[in-house]
């Protein structure tokens, strides 16, 4: 297409900004800068901005040397001043969208970022929302705010949605090689967003609207949440039937078609799977429809930490020990293997429930040196150094997160009682091991 923005993209004359420098925004800013664009990263967290300015990466997978080289080349800068938006041709909004305690969407960060973009919106600018949200947010929330400036979408400025697909800790897929879905308010919006992201990302998948792009993201993670809920319930069924669920899954996965392998676990964690389906469920409630699969999966997955605690109690009983006063060592509190992110981690609920039942809880996680329970400052635990003595001191060792650094033979050898929620002890036949 022949458009001034398209020509700027082709010649790398375009200047872009990324609002939000977390696990999505910083990698995106780096990816754009590596593609030859001049990028300004903006965040309200002054400490985060200062670290980035010094070339200190706080995101796994981004090396300090990478940040420093891009900063020195003049292609990457950081600020907390939204006035920088006056000088850019494109803006990507990558702010967090958590759930409130009532499980309703919290889009306050999107609203705040939109107000800043609105205040600095100028003719010819492209705005792309990346934050996961409910279908209709781009068209019903962001668009009216931007058009209140008197500028017309598709003519004076351009607006699209392109969902983030970051998978922390994934060594195979990053921002650059993960396909990018984009959907604009108008066809021109889609084409310009496609051109911008296509200049930095290997594959861009255009769709017909922003709402389709918003829904696609929610489908991806709802699919995972529902299937994890299914296999978690299968694990419970297998226990009642005295069948090894892990062997059942291995057998089913031998089928080369029509089956996708999902594994049971202690519950859902992370920034996406436990959260995103609720955005869709909430939206449908406003239309007088109940998203039954989502609600049921959330019920099953949300109950898994309590199921694990019951397993711990039963395992201790077999050792003639009660949970009250027992020392329980939790191995791994991050929500997934080899990352330090504890957002929505099932370990938090497991530990809180154990403490409520008067167990003495210790934990080890090299990725999470300190763990705050409840409100900030309410209670903080600290990771205990891994050792044979630590394993021997515990009445029960619970494997919650299967970090690759764990020495499974040592755990099996030294622990008196093991509850394994990740099947790390597969191949070890010992009566003291209890698996999901």
272 counts as catalytic: yes
> Cβ distance 332 to 365 under 8 Å?
yes
> Cβ distance 381 to 371 under 8 Å?
yes
Catalytic residue among 94, 189, 238, 272: 272
- C-alpha span between 204 and 223 (Å, rounded): 22
Task: Kindly provide the residue ranges of all beta strands, DSSP E only, lying in 299-369, ordered along the sequence.
Answer: 327-331, 360-364
Alpha-helical runs (H) found in 54-186: 64-72, 108-120, 137, 143-147
3-state secondary structure of 64: helix
The dihedral through the CA atoms of 304, 305, 309, 311 has a sign that is positive
- C-alpha span between 136 and 128 (Å, rounded): 14
Q: In degrees, to the nearest 5, what angle opens at C-alpha 168 toward C-alphas 247 and 266? A: 40
Could you tell me which of 1, 433, 18 has the C-alpha nearest to residue 200?
18
Distances (CA, A) of 354 to 43, 269, 396: 37, 18, 12
The catalytic residue positions are: 272
């Amino acid at each position: 297409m022949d458009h001034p923005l398209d020509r700027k993209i082709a010649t790398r004359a375009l200047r872009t900004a990324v609002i939000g420098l977390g696990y999505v925004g910083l990698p995106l800013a780096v990816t754009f800068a590596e593609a030859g664009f001049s990028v300004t990263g903006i965040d309200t967290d002054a400490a985060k901005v200062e670290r980035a300015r010094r070339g200190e990466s706080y995101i796994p997978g981004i090396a300090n040397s990478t940040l420093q080289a891009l900063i020195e080349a003049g292609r990457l800068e950081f600020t907390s001043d939204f006035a920088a938006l006056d000088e850019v041709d494109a803006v990507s909004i990558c702010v967090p969208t958590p759930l409130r305690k009532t499980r309703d969407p919290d889009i306050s960060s999107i609203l705040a970022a939109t107000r800043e973009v609105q205040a600095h919106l100028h003719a010819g600018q492209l705005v792309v929302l990346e934050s996961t949200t409910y279908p209709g947010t781009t068209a019903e929330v962001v668009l009216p705010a931007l058009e209140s400036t008197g500028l017309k979408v598709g003519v004076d400025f351009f607006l699209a949605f392109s969902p983030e697909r970051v998978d922390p800790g994934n060594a195979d897929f990053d921002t650059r090689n993960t396909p990018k879905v984009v959907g604009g308010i108008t066809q021109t919006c889609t084409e310009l967003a496609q051109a911008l992201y296509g200049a930095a990302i290997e594959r861009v998948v255009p769709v017909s609207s922003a709402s389709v792009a918003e829904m696609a993201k929610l489908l991806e993670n709802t699919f995972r949440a529902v299937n994890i809920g299914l296999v978690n319930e299968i694990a419970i069924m297998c226990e009642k039937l005295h069948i090894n669920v892990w062997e059942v899954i291995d057998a089913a996965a031998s089928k080369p078609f029509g089956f996708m392998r999902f594994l049971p676990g202690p519950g859902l964690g992370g920034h996406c799977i436990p959260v995103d389906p609720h955005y869709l469920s909430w939206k449908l409630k406003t239309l007088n429809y109940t998203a039954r699969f989502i609600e049921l999966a959330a019920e099953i997955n949300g109950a898994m930490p309590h199921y694990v605690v019951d397993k711990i109690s039963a395992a201790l009983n077999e050792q003639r020990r009660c949970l009250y006063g027992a020392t329980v060592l939790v191995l791994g509190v991050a929500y997934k293997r080899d990352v330090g992110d504890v957002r929505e981690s099932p370990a938090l609920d497991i530990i809180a429930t154990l403490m409520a039942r008067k167990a003495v809880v210790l934990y080890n996680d090299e990725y999470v040196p300190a763990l705050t329970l409840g409100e900030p400052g309410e209670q903080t635990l600290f990771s205990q150094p891994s050792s044979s003595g630590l394993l021997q001191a515990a009445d029960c060792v619970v494997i919650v997160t299967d970090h690759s650094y764990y020495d499974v033979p040592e755990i099996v050898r030294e622990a008196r009682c093991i509850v394994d929620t990740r099947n790390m002890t597969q191949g070890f036949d010992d009566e003291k091991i209890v698996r999901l």
